């Protein structure tokens, strides 16, 4: 807890110095410590944005990053230099024994289910949390309405000096979006990939409201 306070002390000081009373952070890594955040920052608001697992897996499987020495690595690949969540970190007995023999595709499926379920479990029963679907937020038909609900939730609706048209334009600008895919659209996956995804993530997809 004290480390979290120290890590955000400078940021909080800057917020107060500029006479602001709202600080927003989009940081997927904080998903692992939501209960601590709630304890350290009472009343903090948490927004969970869940994405169709099939779309996430396809995107993550296609992601390549460049290291400082100019080499490329794949998300959750054998050459991935970053520490990624594994079943042993959570004593997930169902997958601990299988992990070494699981394909990269299967591991990414597990990652999607596990990380989002950690978030969902952490905010269940918490009054200051909001859940929404990525696809609905960026839907041209109703995304603007959902964005307004989000802004209301964090008390920013009347503080953002942007026109409705400017806000609508923001919904068309996605950062770090995948442009080249290794896998085809999930509707065209081979039967084996569909079977693997459904075996790992099928039940959680239904829980999140995806068909």
pLDDT in tens, 98-122: 999 999 999 999 999 999 999 999 9
N residues, the chain = 211
Domain count within the chain? 1
- Domain with 184, as residue range(s), is 2-57+101-207
- What are the φ/ψ torsions at residue 154 (nearest 5 degrees)? -100, 15
The answer to whether residue 30 is domain-embedded is yes
pTM value? 0.88
DSSP-derived secondary structure letter, 107: H
pLDDT in tens, 181-206: 999 999 999 999 999 999 999 999 99
CA angle 119, 113, 98 (to 5 degrees): 130
User: Helices 104-123 and 191-207, interaxial angle, to 10°?
Assistant: 0
- CA dihedral 52→107→74→122, nearest 10 degrees, is 60
Band of residue 1 on the pLDDT scale cut at 50, 70, 90: low
Over range 14-34, report the average pLDDT: 86
The answer to whether residue 93 is domain-embedded is no
The answer to whether residue 138 is domain-embedded is yes
């Amino acid at each position: 807890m004290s480390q979290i306070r120290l890590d955000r002390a400078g940021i909080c000081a800057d917020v107060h110095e500029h006479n602001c009373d709202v600080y927003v952070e989009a940081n997927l890594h904080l998903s692992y410590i939501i209960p601590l955040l709630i304890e350290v920052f009472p009343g903090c608001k948490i927004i969970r944005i869940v994405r169709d697992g099939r779309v996430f897996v396809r995107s993550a499987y296609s992601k390549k990053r460049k290291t400082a020495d100019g080499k490329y690595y794949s998300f959750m690949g054998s050459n991935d230099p970053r520490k990624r969540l594994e079943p042993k970190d959570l004593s997930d007995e169902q997958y601990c024994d299988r992990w070494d023999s699981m394909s990269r595709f299967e591991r990414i499926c597990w990652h999607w289910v596990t990380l989002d379920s950690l978030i969902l479990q952490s905010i269940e029963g918490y009054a200051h949390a909001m859940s929404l679907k990525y696809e609905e937020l960026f839907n041209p038909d109703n995304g603007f309405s959902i964005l307004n609900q989000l802004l209301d939730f964090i008390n920013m609706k009347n503080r953002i000096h942007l026109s409705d048209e400017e806000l609508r334009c923001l919904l068309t600008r996605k950062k770090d979006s995948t442009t080249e895919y290794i896998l085809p659209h999930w509707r065209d996956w081979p039967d084996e990939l569909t079977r693997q995804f459904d075996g790992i993530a099928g039940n959680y997809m239904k829980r999140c409201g995806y068909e």
